[in-house]
Amino acid sequence: MKKRPMLFSALLAGVTVISAWYWASTHQERMLNDYTNEKYGFDVEDIGNKGNHSNQYTVKRKDKPEDVFTIEASSQKFSSYIEYDNYAETEIIHEFNQQHKKSKENQRLEQLGFHHSHVTHYYGNGDEVNKRKIHDLKTALFLYQDKAMNESDASRFLEAIPIIESIKEKLTPTGNDLVRVAVFNSRYYPSLYKNDTENVPIKGAVKFSTKQLESVQTMEEARKAIENGSYN
């Protein structure tokens, strides 16, 4: 007969933990959105590691998911408040993308079959969540094509590399260094940034460092870069 009270206590403890987690999650979401709505006029979604208890939140704009930035909060015993955000850096990227849409580089990429090209911030897969700093966001060029990229795309990609280099040169004066290029299947557009491990989705993505692309001069080198990029 003693098993029933023990089972009831275990169930009660489980419900309490779930309730506390739900309250903390909704409180966090409300805090972030109250802050961004008052300061900027838009809602955000936390795309960081939900198991992370850090006071730094990686968020995306709900209306413009390519706008990724970080919010830093300070916690006291019974309350939290926002100390800082780096959205100003994201605004620079947003303005760059607005100009890029009208650029010859974007038009040429479209002609080559690379669609929806835009620059965005991301956290690298190797970054440890609990060691992230507010300015650790890196910058990448995201491209999309109608199928998963493979070695048969070497010719098109070789033509795209000088265009990517031109985009990198244009971006540098903004204070952002383009360090990565990622090519996705168009079916993933624009549903990126769902959670911490999918900031740069592994499934179907081919990723290159811009430094790596500097040495690509021939079809064979482009083919090899795509082969290697599939495993990055």
Tens-place pLDDT, residues 10-23: 555 444 444 444 44
Sequence length of the chain is 232
pLDDT at residue 123, as a whole number: 59
- Of 57, 85, 113, the position where a domain reaches its end is 85
Cα separation, 130 vs 115, in Å, equals 35
What total of structural domains would you count in the chain?
2
Looking at the structure, do residues 9 and 50 belong to the same domain, yes or no? yes
Looking at the structure, do residues 31 and 130 belong to the same domain, yes or no? no
Looking at the structure, do residues 108 and 184 belong to the same domain, yes or no? yes
Strand 206-209 vs strand 178-185: parallel, antiparallel, or unpaired?
antiparallel
Domain of residue 212 covers 87-229
Looking at the structure, do residues 17 and 118 belong to the same domain, yes or no? no
- Of 63, 85, 107, the position where a domain reaches its end is 85
Q: What are phi and psi of 4, to 5 degrees?
A: -65, -50
Looking at the structure, do residues 80 and 100 belong to the same domain, yes or no? no
Q: Which stretches of the chain drop beneath a pLDDT of 70?
A: 1-26, 49-54, 75-80, 123-137, 190-204, 231-232
Residues 28-61: b if buried by 16+ CB within 10 A, e if exposed: ebebbbebbeeeeeeebbbbbbeeeeeebbbbbb
Looking at the structure, do residues 148 and 209 belong to the same domain, yes or no? yes
pLDDT at residue 9, as a whole number: 55
Looking at the structure, do residues 99 and 77 belong to the same domain, yes or no? no
DSSP-based helix, strand, coil % in the chain, nearest 5: 45, 20, 30
pLDDT at residue 151, as a whole number: 93
| pLDDT tens sequence across 93-131 | 989 999 999 999 999 999 999 999 999 887 554 444 444
pLDDT at residue 54, as a whole number: 66
C-alpha count within 13 angstroms, C-beta hemisphere, residue 29: 12
pLDDT at residue 189, as a whole number: 79
Strands (DSSP E) found in 146-229: 178-185, 206-209
Looking at the structure, do residues 72 and 127 belong to the same domain, yes or no? no
Looking at the structure, do residues 95 and 167 belong to the same domain, yes or no? yes
pLDDT at residue 135, as a whole number: 46
